[in-house]
Structure 1
């Protein structure tokens, strides 16, 4: 059991960093399913590959695979950038920020949530603007 402890610690730290990044930068829309699966596998891979000197190359390959998957999982638009896009296209006073589910995709790197900003426009009308985190497209919801 003790051979799994270093892998558990490393995976836990990486998971906390990913969750922090997701909440603070991307507003909770980052697709984390594949990354959490890889972090779970990391515990086993670390325990079995790091004990043998000749297996360390395979461990490095696994870590590189995780890094590539993490980079591909980053949405193209951050929450701050989405807010700026919404304000640039539809001048308004934002009263609420949230995320809503989008169409599901089989692509594990594509976000399945979108940014939504509620506010009041120039004419004092209520407006709801949706920003797609993958493309940056801005739409007004009726």
Structure 2
């Protein structure tokens, strides 16, 4: 699919007062494990499609970021899917290291059990050793 036809299909949404955003759901391309969800804007989507490395738009920092830029935990894009409403994208990726900034393979490392959150994920790195202030 050409970039222009993909953008014609998409219907961006407003999030936190910011227009033109899409939800990106990210899965491991082999296991289908859900790794994370984040937002993308047109520029981050363009860079992702051009480089085949995941880029996102941070709603809190209001800026573009490349996954793994400081940690080395990159996501290599294997395939892209668009949902039926055109406002969300599913990326199947090869995850290098952990997807979560807390050090876990997946951002979904906590499970609700008996009204309590339990750690149910694999920690693959120590954030203090990776992220330097």
Query: TM-score, normalized by length of structure 2?
Result: 0.27
Q: Which has the larger radius of gyration?
A: 1
Higher helix share: 1
Higher strand share: 2
